[in-house]
Structure 1
């Protein structure tokens, strides 16, 4: 009788298309895709991101709350990205273990199969390094002052600079990775693998792809997130400008098992990790800075939980008019969730989430004022760790996700809890009058910068003295705009005459330049352009 043959090594998850780079690189030791070569390629991408000046710049871009003299250093976009990466790594590692378990079963090593692992393999698999790379890259496109700067640049671009496509932080991230950043080579971008480039496409479409689609033209159950709120201009959230639309299509083609309009698995992991880090980690800052106060937070939650039906049956107009009254804002949050996401929203689950956040945050963490001491620090850390563990262990793999969801998502309970935690941000931080006053000044800075650079570039007598990088980007963006108009004119919107195309190229370069500044660089540049600082003397 022949001796039993030794088991052959487990099969490798084949992802050669996802390893493809735009430009050739020095040949790897082995041309045959293996698990080792795949990991090596993805780690190369991760290191390129870590050494990118755009990544380092995030240390000087505010997350939500500016620096405070109380307690440890506040989060910025860089520390936020690192925490998103840590959360993404754990989620991806847990899912990758289930993939491996399925492959072991397929090879006869285990008696039982894991249907979740089988589904992950069918969809192309996830990778811990790719998920980390996505987390590192996800905020690269944030302009100075974060989401505020994003909104201002979008408005100014569409109303004053002749660029209907506007500005969007996610699309700017993809543009940085594929066009603006450089490895010191002639080719643009970081030359990342298709897997990593696809992993930042949270909204895998252009703004124009959804132009004209609104509440009446398409039911909410058929509209992805970020689509339908501005039908006249297109998608509110999108991950590629027209100039990078063909590149987006090319990297998505490397993931044929993922349905059109859906995120890749690594991208979905990054998106979840971003939500978790934002919902929980940013509360650290709000507590330490003294922004979150016990009385208003507890009052809001107590009023909604104690409601005898008056809030639930109040008409929307009266609720909106008295949104500052305790309980009214939470009721408006519930109605918004129920309208946008009826596929998962349930009032009883929402009530449980409100109860839990009220107990642990309003009546727990905030019941004792933060004083910077060890006990206060331990309380904040314990709250954060408990919630991070709770949320990252609440992951669902969905073979047939809703159009507003993804293949990897939070379960129903955790989804509601994240919504309530985010509500605390918007209601008790972003709506603060003192923060709003500061943000109005920041908005003025961003608008003035964009318009001032546009005026400078249109000055025939002084244009050549504009910043060299800006002039180079104007030439490159204008050339790319004309090339796209010749090759794929349907991707462009607005004036497509010669002067209109030149204006669009100039506007895109201005947005690239202003959005690449840090908060302090924006303030200093604004001061010098407006003559508010003394001119240097010789």
Structure 2
């Protein structure tokens, strides 16, 4: 680190020149923002599903347009925090809140999302753990950190984008590994941070959400070092908290717009659910837990389940009065406002959509507060009680009336089968000695990279090498097996939806057309 340098500006490789990247900015954090935006991994997000495949539509959100809107909200929040004398001073004591850092992290937060969004994430995690024995499986946030520190090769160094510590730390939405790091692990805290608890259906598998694999822990440590005496070891940096909150706000608003636009979000169903709960809140509150399970046939019960979950998981903020007010607010703005008139592409409909988005974004950003001692369940940057509950209700509407639709499940089962078949085909190709020289060059390079990484872990931190069932992994062949699995997962995760589908068609002989796309990822 050069004399007088802010430790937050420390890069992964201090000796590196710009290399192939022509820096147009001079401020360190602006350079990071530009590097992320210039990355082919960022461009790829235009072809990756947000919730459902855009199918060529220019108006439905994909991961790229989502990331741009998250960045817009993140910068507004960061400027609000840094621009206030009181919150700006507090943020400085906690490690800083630079709008360029928050914006860079927001632009990069979804770089690791695989084809088909969260569905792809679940499929690749299952394959990584059960087929390849990778204990840390696959997680989109950890894949993002792996990309910016290791597998992106177009930056100023051979590996990663050589970002500053501040931006790398801001990308650590869940600042821990799945297992073993840090020690003690946040899963063992009396109140685990959001995402740190084990999934209910996977005891012993580690945290449900995490931001680094065992192969990137050195970069993790270096990124977090400047914040060691500012925040708790398990807490997000202030800028990571800004990015996380901006992601929640954008998701809560823009995905609802998409499904209203294509006619999926139906006025009657949403109105009935919210109206029934509001008119009978007291009676719903007295229902035994087992009677809430039949939610889909009994309007109001899903919302009551949400109210109870907020008390069980987020008692630090849960309020029945605020919950009721949030349901009423969403009914007024969403049901009686936006959904009352079917979207028909008219000027009136477009203006109603834009007004809804602008009004809610402003309302939620206006509810941002900075807390020096937050609950483990939230970051330093959070929402006031009223707005926090409104976000929960908006996200509930999306989950209940979009994500739980059987037609979406049918579509996603096909995507899951596609990804599984593609992994099978690529793995078989890797195992074919006669075809070893004709592997896609990108896959070959990823295998070599992973072998070097896992060999280093075996030499320097063998305790981190455990299989999916917790047994130690020893021996050269077993370690190379982990590396092979990670490389295949890296390769598939770097594809767009259309690339994954097209490559499977080509590799399985379902098309007579030769593979003609330049394979840069």
TM-score of the alignment, normalized to the shorter chain, above 0.5? yes
Equivalent residue for 1:181?
Answer: 152
Residue 141 (structure 1) aligned with residue 128 (structure 2): no
- The offset of 1:40, in angstroms, is 0.8
Which residue of the partner structure matches residue 78 of structure 2?
92
For the pair 1:327 / 2:296, whether they are aligned, the reply is no
Shift of 1:308: 5.3
**Structure 1 pair 187/219, CA: closer, same or farther in 2 (3 Å)?**
closer
Cα offset, 1:162, TM superposition: 2.0
Deviations 1:444-478 (A, max 9, x none): 11111122212221223323322111011111101
Please name the residue that 1:171 is paired with. 142
- Distance in 1, matches of 2:182 and 2:373, equals 26
Q: Which of 1 and 2 has greater Rg?
A: 1
Match of 2:462 in 1: 489
| 1:240 is aligned to 2:212 | yes
- Aligned pairs for 1:100-499 (under 5 A) are 101=85, 114=86, 116-183=87-154, 187-209=158-180, 218=188, 221-229=191-199, 230-256=202-228, 257-307=230-280, 309-494=282-467, 495-499=473-477
* 1:27-72 deviation digits (Å, cap 9, x = unpaired): 89xxxxxxxxx971111111111110000111111211333798x6
Q: By how many angstroms is 1:185 displaced?
A: 5.1
- Aligned: 1:49 with 2:36: yes
Structure 1 range deviating more: 492-501 or 255-264: 492-501
Distance 1:319 1:202, change over 3 A: same
2: CA distance, partners of 1:92 / 1:333: 30
* Cα distance in structure 1, aligned partners of 2:428 and 2:435: 10
Deviation at 1:124, TM superposition (A): 2.0
For residues 140-179 of structure 1, give each alpha carbon's deviation from its aligned partner in whole angstroms, at most 9, with x where no partner exists: 0000000000000001111112212110000000000000
TM-score of the two chains, using structure 1 as the length reference:
0.88
Aligned partners of 1:314, 1:66: CA distance in 2, in Å?
39
Q: For 2:512 and 2:79, locate their aligned partners in 1 and report how far apart those are by CA, in whole Å.
A: 54
> 1:231: Cα distance to partner?
3.5
Q: Secondary structure at the match of 2:226?
A: coil
- For 1:246 and 1:277, the matched residues in 2 are separated by 32
2:198 is paired with a residue whose SS is coil
Contact map agreement 2:35 2:155 (CA 8 A) in 1 = no
Is the CA contact (8 Å cut-off) linking 1:61 and 1:76 kept in structure 2?
yes
1:183 offset after TM fit, Å? 3.4
Whether contact under 8 Å (1:143, 1:169) holds in the other structure is yes
Q: Which moved more, 1:148-157 or 1:318-327?
A: 318-327
TM-score, length-scaled by structure 2 = 0.91
**CA RMSD, Structure 1 to Structure 2 (Å):** 2.4
Unaligned runs of 5+ in 1: 1-13, 29-37, 102-113
Q: CA deviation at 1:536?
A: 4.2
Secondary structure of 1:363's aligned partner? helix
What SS does structure 1 have at the residue aligned with 2:463?
helix
Instruction: Decide which moves more: 221-230 or 51-60.
Output: 221-230
Q: Which moved more, 1:170-179 or 1:436-445?
A: 436-445
Distance 1:56 1:401 in 2: 36
The Cα of 1:344 is off from its aligned counterpart by: 1.2
Shift of residue 120 of structure 1? 1.3
Instruction: Name segments (4+ residues, structure 1) moved above 4 Å.
Output: 25-28, 210-215, 217-220
**3-state secondary structure, aligned to 1:329:** helix
Per mean C-alpha deviation after superposition, the further-off stretch among 449-458 and 218-227 is: 218-227
Query: Quick check: 447-456 or 294-303, which moved more?
Result: 447-456
1:24 matched residue in structure 2:
14
Aligned partners of 1:337 and 1:345 also within 8 Å: yes
- For 1:79, which of 65, 69, 83 is the aligned residue? 65
SS of corresponding position for 1:461: helix
Q: Deviations over 1:489-534 (max 9, x none)?
A: 1222213332221111001111110000000001101112222112
- Structure 2 distance, partners of 1:47, 1:183, is 13
